[in-house]
Structures are given as structure tokens and as C-alpha cells.
Amino acid sequence: MRCPDGLWLHPHQSAAAWLGINIFLFTYYFLFFDRDERYFYTRAILGSALAWARASAKCLNFNSMLILLPVCRNLLSFLRGTCLCCRRTLRKQLDHNLTFHKLVAYTLALFTAVHTIAHLFNLERYNHSQQATDRSLPAVLSKMHLQGSDKWLNPIHSNQTVSTVEYVAFTTIPGLTGVIITLALILMVTSSTEFIRRNYFEVFWYTHHLFLIYFAGLVIHGIAGLVRGQTEESMEKVHPHRCAQYLTQKEEDCSHDCCKHPEFGSIPAEVGQRRDGGVLSPVPAPQVVMHPARVLELQMQKKGFCMEVGQYIFVNCPAISLLEWHPFTLTSAPEEDFFSIHIRAAGDWTERLIDTFQQNPEMPRIEVDGPFGTASEDVFQYEVAMLVGAGIGVTPFASILKSIWYKFQQADQTLKTKKIYFYWLCRDTGAFAWFNDLLASLEQKMAESGKADFLTYRLFLTGWDTSIANNVALRFDTPTDTVTGLRHKTIFGRPMWNSEFAAVAAAHPRSVVGVFLCGPGALAKSLQKFCHQHSSLDPRKVKFYFNKENF
């Protein structure tokens, strides 16, 4: 089953729905705590800061419930693999999981600021009311702890200087946990900036595990119930609209029904959370292949490991670090009896890993978490596919192209895809080397199968020196490419994407084209723009769907 393409929610519409829920929650609970009669006496002390604190708390709980869902890799893989209705449209929503995760994180930071500032006002007003010596309603309410343990409303029970705002903030359970989870959130958000992630990944990785402290603190944050409201039973006996004036004007021999003191109870705390449990498994000693340009290939035995094209795994090497896990796309095909990854030296951890495998006579132990789904799984759902890889970003497409090779070997008649355009952008010639054999095999197999036109690939060398250019010029008329040895010539420079999209649209005027990218954000924005630009408004004509790998 499959839903019409026009019925799915655009990512902006999904974000609008999420934003609408936040606005509704904040507005509803703000008005509730600002008007509900159970909090009449609480508002007498705190004013509107009560509504600001509680409304932001409800939004914090809602977003804390959501923050982990976009990074629950097992859940996302399950949804990708089991949802048959609206398969393409639902998966396109899942492709924006990290964007949504960041959006929710920034929203948490905003509501945390509102919640914290509101409670600072609340503590100051609690303290001011406790220090007051007049017969005002806030002052009388603040002295009610003397009447019994269940009748207090102001959590500050002393007018001594020791009961300052700072004392309450750092010695009570809500205050101390609030400080801890706020600091944890600040560290997680600030260490998640792109600069930190790219240059100090370990800082980002370790700091992000403060989410354990964040959720632990969130669970117990509201246990003490410092902010209270009038109980239902007390409301029936001494309603505030009828009896509030007797609290400030009551005489000792008062005989009215309102002479009884109101009783107060805690506001219940609500917390939602979700944890993801991945499958962690050690793998036997892998086969190691060292490719040019410092690219390490690890081939590992499957032993019950089930995968699809384009999926990725998290890898840990205890010999380097017990806690660090790094994502790598699988480069093997599901049809192979092993699974493999290619690792390029691009940081401290990858450098140490490559050196460990090169220098150690005994193979270090490797642990694997996954596999997990990505947008590339959808490639065979399209009649036409455009695959764009930048540098090591070619890895998911290695898995796809290998799988195609096996499908041709087995004469698979169920293959929906009729045409693939493959674009690979590299800065140096060494990066081409480890992929040449696969492309050469594909060329030969498709020619033998009479489907030489199935795959069109273009290799772009974005950085070169004079010697390479001169060598290419001298051998321009040779049947194979000087750089790669393949039939298709290497193109020097960057692709003219407008021309590429126009050519694909002209060649497939009535097709649905899937555009898949594993590469930098700037290239993603460019390709997404051309997808919209070259898609026809007429549903009977060509339409481009953009898909980007996210880790």
C-alpha cells in the first residue's frame, strides 16, 4: 500500500505542528495557573511569575519527552523497515531527525531560561513575604506554617537571614536539581556547536552523555513540591473568594465558617522520557585492507548481523577508548557474507585506530552497535536515482552499487530502479583508488548483461596540480581515463548542477527521481534548491525528492 504523494506533511508543516503544540501547552497552562481558584492564595504571594514558571515547566516536560526520540536509532530503523503505508513520505520525515533534535534542544534551552528566571522571582517574593511583619495577605499566608504541617504555603519557614534565596536554591531538592540539570543542559548545548563537533569531537561526545544526569535530575526535580495550591477538600470548606478577607481581618473569637485556615498540597510533577537501547556486540578479528589516502577497510563476519543498503553502525575500539563510539556507513552489500566499513583518517580517534591496526601484530577487539537506517535505504524505491558523494561520503553508495552488481548477477526481476546517475566529488586522486575496482566490475557486468546504460557515473576532481593536468592533456585520446583507468573520463572542477538536473529531467520527463547525498551542508542546500527548481508542479511530470544522510 502506498499513499498519494500529495498527502504527506512537509517538514515545515511537521515543525509547525510541533510549534503549535508548544504554543497551545504554554497558553493553556499559563491561563490555568493564572486563573484557577486553587492557586488564588499562591498567586497572592507570587503574582504572574507562578503562571510563567508552570507553563514553561509543562513545555519543558513535553520537549524533554521528545528530545531523545529523534536519536533513538533502533526506533528509527524499525519505522523505516516496517511502515508500508506512505513508505516514502514517512521516511522523508525521518530523514530530518537530527534537525528536529536540535530544534527541540534549543527550545529546551529557551524554556529553561524562562522557567529559571520565573522561579528566581518566585523565591524572592517568597522571601519578601516571609520577612513582612504587616497583616497583608502574603504575610499572613507565609506565617501559616505555624498552624500545622499541612497548612504551609510559603516554603521559606524562617525570617532569619539564613533563609535567603540562594540558600533555598542550593539546599532544597528542587533548587539543587534545578541548578544541576540547567548546568548539564548548558554544557550539552554549547558543546554541540559545529565548531566543537568538527574540531573537538571527543568533547562533544563525552559532554553529551550528561543527558543521563539531566533526566535523572528531571525525574526528582518536582518531588519536594515547593510550589503548592489549595486542596479540593479545603476549597469546599473555605473557598478563597468567600473567605480570603477573613485571613487578614479575623478576630480571635471568630465564629464564621471562614475562620478555619485553608490547607495546601503540592502541585504534581509530570515527567516524560525515552531511552534508546542499542544492540552492542563484539565481533571477531576483522580482515584489514589498507587503501591509498589513509583509508582503512575493515571486513567483519556477519554471524546474525542483518543489514540493508546504505545503513550505518557505531564502532568502538576498547584499545583506544572504552567510551567513544563513532558512526560509519556500511560499504558492503546485503548479499555479501561479511559487512565492511571504510575509515578515513580525519581526527585523533581515526588516526589512532588506523595506527593501531597498522602497527599491532594482534588485531584489536572491535565492538559494533547497529545497524541503523538512513535515507539511502530508499534508493530502490525510485525509478531513477541520483547519488552524490563527496570524498569519503561515497561509502553508502558503495553498498548500493555493490548490491546492484549482485542483483544483476542473480538476474533480479523485482528491481524497480531503471536508471542510476552517480556523482563522486574528490579533492585528490588517491581517494579514487579504492573505489575503482568496484566501478570497473560494474561497467563490465552491465555491459555483459546488455544494460550498459543502467549506470551513468561522473567523477569530479576538485583539486589538482599542474603535473596531473599536463598528463591528462597528453593522454586525452586514450579510451580509458588517465586518473582512474575507467571508461568514463574524470572531470576537473565542480559539477554544473543546474545542467545535470536539467539533463535528468529531460531524459526522464514522467519519472520520480530520488536525489541522495552524503556530503557537506553547503552542497545539500544547493541540491535541495535544484530539486525544487526542476520539479514540475504537474504530478504527471518529473519530480525530484531530496534525501540526505544524517548521523
pLDDT in tens, 465-488: 555 555 555 455 555 555 555 666
Q: What is the pLDDT of residue 23?
A: 92
Considering the domain architecture, whether residues 63 and 125 belong to the same structural domain is answered as: yes
User: Which residue among 324, 343, 373 closes a domain?
Assistant: 373
- Those residues whose C-beta lies under 8 Å from the C-beta of residue 180, and which sit 6 or more positions away, are 213, 217
Considering the domain architecture, whether residues 405 and 452 belong to the same structural domain is answered as: yes
Q: What is the pLDDT of residue 3?
A: 40
User: Does 134 reside within a domain?
Assistant: yes
pLDDT higher at 371 or 488: 371
Q: What is the pLDDT of residue 187?
A: 92
Question: pLDDT band for position 92 (50/70/90)?
Answer: low
SS3 385: strand
pLDDT higher at 90 or 501: 501
Nearest CA to 356 out of 348, 346, 368, 364 is that of 364
Going by the DSSP 8-state scheme, the letter that residue 330 receives in this structure is B
Rounded average pLDDT over 350-361: 83
Over pLDDT 70: what percentage of the chain? 75
Q: What is the pLDDT of residue 278?
A: 41
- Those residues whose C-beta lies under 8 Å from the C-beta of residue 386, and which sit 6 or more positions away, are 420, 421, 423, 500, 504, 513, 514, 515, 516, 544
User: Does 60 reside within a domain?
Assistant: yes
SS3 396: helix
Considering the domain architecture, whether residues 364 and 402 belong to the same structural domain is answered as: no
User: Does 471 reside within a domain?
Assistant: yes
Measured between alpha carbons, how far is 499 from 495 in angstroms, rounded to an integer?
9
Question: pLDDT band for position 183 (50/70/90)?
Answer: very high
**Model confidence pLDDT, tens digit, residues 148-179:** 555 677 777 765 544 566 776 777 788 888 88
User: Does 63 reside within a domain?
Assistant: yes
CATH number for 308:
2.40.30.10
Find the length of the chain. Answer: 551
Which one of 368-377, 393-402, 494-503 scores highest in mean pLDDT? 494-503
Q: What is the pLDDT of residue 194?
A: 84
User: Which residue among 324, 339, 373 closes a domain?
Assistant: 373
User: Which residue among 322, 339, 373 closes a domain?
Assistant: 373
Q: What is the pLDDT of residue 269?
A: 45
Considering the domain architecture, whether residues 544 and 403 belong to the same structural domain is answered as: yes
CB-side neighbour CA atoms (13 Å) of 372? 29
Query: Does the pLDDT of residue 189 top 80, yes or no?
Result: yes
Q: What is the largest CA-CA distance in the chain?
A: 113
**Model confidence pLDDT, tens digit, residues 269-305:** 443 333 333 444 555 567 887 777 677 888 888 777 7
Q: What is the pLDDT of residue 277?
A: 37
Considering the domain architecture, whether residues 237 and 300 belong to the same structural domain is answered as: no
φ/ψ bin of 440: left (φ > 0), alpha (ψ from -120 to 50), beta (otherwise): alpha
CA distance readout (Å), 289 to 7, 295, 337, 339, 389: 47, 9, 17, 13, 22
Range of the domain at 37: 9-172+224-266
Q: pTM higher than 0.85 for the full model?
A: no
Considering the domain architecture, whether residues 324 and 457 belong to the same structural domain is answered as: no
Considering the domain architecture, whether residues 344 and 473 belong to the same structural domain is answered as: no
Considering the domain architecture, whether residues 468 and 486 belong to the same structural domain is answered as: yes
Considering the domain architecture, whether residues 20 and 31 belong to the same structural domain is answered as: yes
DSSP run (H or E) holding 92: helix 87-94
**Model confidence pLDDT, tens digit, residues 93-123:** 666 778 888 899 999 999 999 999 998 888 8
Query: Does the pLDDT of residue 2 top 60, yes or no?
Result: no
User: Does 206 reside within a domain?
Assistant: no
Considering the domain architecture, whether residues 356 and 429 belong to the same structural domain is answered as: no
Q: Which residue do the cell numbers 575509515 mark?
A: 343
Give the total number of structural domains in the chain. 3
Grid cell, residue 22, equals 508548544
What is the pLDDT of the chain when averaged over all its residues? Answer: 77
User: Does 213 reside within a domain?
Assistant: no
User: Does 189 reside within a domain?
Assistant: no
User: Does 275 reside within a domain?
Assistant: no
Q: Is the separation of the CB atoms in 503 and 456 below 8 Å?
A: no
Considering the domain architecture, whether residues 369 and 390 belong to the same structural domain is answered as: no
CB-side neighbour CA atoms (13 Å) of 49? 18
**Model confidence pLDDT, tens digit, residues 230-267:** 887 777 777 877 777 777 776 666 666 677 777 787 76
φ/ψ bin of 272: left (φ > 0), alpha (ψ from -120 to 50), beta (otherwise): beta
Measured between alpha carbons, how far is 114 from 466 in angstroms, rounded to an integer?
59
CATH number for 539:
3.40.50.80
Considering the domain architecture, whether residues 347 and 380 belong to the same structural domain is answered as: no
